[in-house]
């Protein structure tokens, strides 16, 4: 099963966010063995492989970190065909943390670039970025270091689908404070005021979404935490509020509206907010993927996702044709039953090989 050596080897390197070094070193060695012109670890700890020396550039950005939770790596053959048909090489599944999200797509990038090889006038850069599952430190490090002609971001969307959009996200804590009063006073408590604030936020979101038919165009609101405490003089309640953003609502727009709704409450931003991004459909890159999928017997489809990805970090800066691509069923992301179908993986490698050949023709 040498055609799956990159996939199996990479998945076998357990690498939750913050513990990617072993997997990075393994991948750099693997890319050197596959004949990359250069392979190294950059200043953020990303694995980087370079094929070709031309002035035109394709960046294939995947991520090498996973969520925590080690899963025993195992190759499982399919059940015998009732008709007695012999099993074909490549049938079966690979279980293991990251097989879907997103070492499957990253390994696909590595294998496809090696399969196509160097093309005159072109350079392919494969990046296995760190920390995508936390704050995208790897992608933030490289965003100002490349200006590619095309960008392909590695996330699992099935081998015959092309991702054209990912929602943005913004997190905030909303803290409501009240002076301490006697419980018999009838005065509104901080907790009661917090509930009212939450209901106002939800009412605004419901009204915003009322005429939006597509989930990708809606605000997706979530209350992820609520805590209260008090001292001798003051009581407070804090809400942790998250939202998935559509393309036409920027993080700044959302924080401004949240502040208006919250009134006298303290609104504090949490972590990095990222804008949503929708990719242009009528590009040479998209047409190359449509051709690649059809040539491998698939019927191409487009997908817009409710999550975020490193696409949201790099696409607004690079402003080049971009898509999200990779084998694997995203319904298995982060689950204890994460696995990738080997036949689908091989088809994705073939599709991407066609894409790279078309772009460099």
Predicted confidence (pLDDT) per residue in 102-114, tens digit? 999 999 999 999 9
Exposure b/e, 96-109, CB count within 10 A at least 16 = b: bbbbbbbbbbbbbb
**Residue 249 and residue 173 in contact, taking contact as beta carbons nearer than 8 Å:** no
131 in catalytic set: no
Q: What is the pLDDT of residue 185?
A: 59
**Residue 304 and residue 244 in contact, taking contact as beta carbons nearer than 8 Å:** no
- Kindly tell me if the per-residue pLDDT of 80 is higher than 60: no
Q: What is the pLDDT of residue 87?
A: 41
Among candidate residues 351, 275, 263, the one with its CA nearest the CA of residue 313: 275
**Residue 103 and residue 10 in contact, taking contact as beta carbons nearer than 8 Å:** yes
Q: Which of 36-50, 163-177, 228-242 has the lowest mean pLDDT?
A: 228-242
- Kindly tell me if the per-residue pLDDT of 82 is higher than 60: no
132 in catalytic set: yes
- Kindly tell me if the per-residue pLDDT of 180 is higher than 80: no
Exposure b/e, 8-31, CB count within 10 A at least 16 = b: bbbbebbbbbeebeebbebbbebb
Q: What is the pLDDT of residue 79?
A: 57
Between the CA of residue 109 and those of 48, 112, 155, what are the distances in Å?
Answer: 12, 5, 11
Distance CA 127, CA 7 (A): 15
- Kindly tell me if the per-residue pLDDT of 234 is higher than 90: no
| Percent of the chain with pLDDT strictly greater than 90 | 88
Range 274-301 average pLDDT: 97
Q: What is the pLDDT of residue 331?
A: 93
pTM of the entire predicted model: 0.90
**Residue 111 and residue 6 in contact, taking contact as beta carbons nearer than 8 Å:** yes
Q: What is the pLDDT of residue 178?
A: 84
- Residue in 20, 65, 111, 137 annotated catalytic: 65
Q: What is the pLDDT of residue 188?
A: 83
Among candidate residues 288, 353, 348, 361, the one with its CA nearest the CA of residue 116: 353
**Residue 235 and residue 246 in contact, taking contact as beta carbons nearer than 8 Å:** no
- Residue in 20, 101, 111, 132 annotated catalytic: 132
- Domains of the chain in sequence order: 2-166+277-359 (3.40.630.10), 168-274 (3.30.70.360)
- If you count them, how many residues does the chain have? 361
């Amino acid at each position: 099963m040498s055609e799956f050596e990159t996939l199996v080897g990479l998945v076998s390197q357990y690498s939750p966010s913050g513990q990617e070094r072993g997997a990075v070193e393994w991948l750099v060695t693997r890319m050197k063995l596959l004949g990359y012109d250069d392979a190294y670890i950059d200043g953020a700890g990303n694995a980087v492989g370079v094929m070709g020396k031309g002035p035109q550039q394709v960046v294939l950005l995947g991520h090498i970190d996973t969520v925590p939770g080690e899963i025993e790596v195992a190759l499982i053959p399919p059940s015998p065909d009732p008709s007695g048909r012999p099993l074909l090489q490549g049938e079966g599944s690979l279980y293991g943390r990251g097989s879907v999200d997103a070492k499957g797509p990253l390994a696909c990038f590595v294998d496809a670039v090696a399969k196509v090889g160097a093309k005159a006038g072109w350079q392919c850069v494969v990046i296995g970025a760190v920390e995508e599952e936390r704050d995208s430190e790897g992608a933030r490090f490289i965003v100002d270091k490349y200006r590619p002609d095309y960008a392909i971001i590695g996330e699992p969307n099935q081998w015959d689908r092309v991702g054209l959009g990912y929602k943005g996200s913004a997190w905030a804590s909303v803290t409501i404070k009240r002076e301490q009063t006697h419980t018999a006073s009838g005065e509104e408590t901080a907790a009661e005021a917090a509930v009212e604030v939450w209901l106002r936020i939800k009412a605004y979101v419901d009204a915003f979404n009322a005429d939006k038919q597509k989930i990708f165009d809606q605000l997706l609101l979530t209350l992820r935490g609520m805590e209260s405490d008090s001292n001798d003089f003051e009581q407070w309640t804090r809400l942790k509020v998250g939202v998935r953003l559509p393309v036409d609502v920027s993080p700044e727009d959302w924080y401004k509206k949240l502040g208006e709704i919250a009134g006298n409450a303290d609104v504090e931003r949490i972590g990095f907010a990222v804008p949503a991004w929708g990719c242009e459909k009528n590009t040479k890159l998209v047409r190359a993927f449509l051709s690649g999928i059809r040539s491998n017997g698939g019927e191409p489809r487009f997908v817009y996702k409710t999550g975020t990805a490193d696409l949201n970090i790099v696409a607004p800066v690079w402003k080049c044709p971009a898509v999200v691509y990779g084998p694997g069923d995203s319904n298995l992301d982060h689950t204890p039953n994460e696995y990738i179908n080997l036949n689908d993986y091989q088809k994705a490698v073939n599709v991407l090989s066609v894409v790279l050949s078309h772009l460099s023709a």
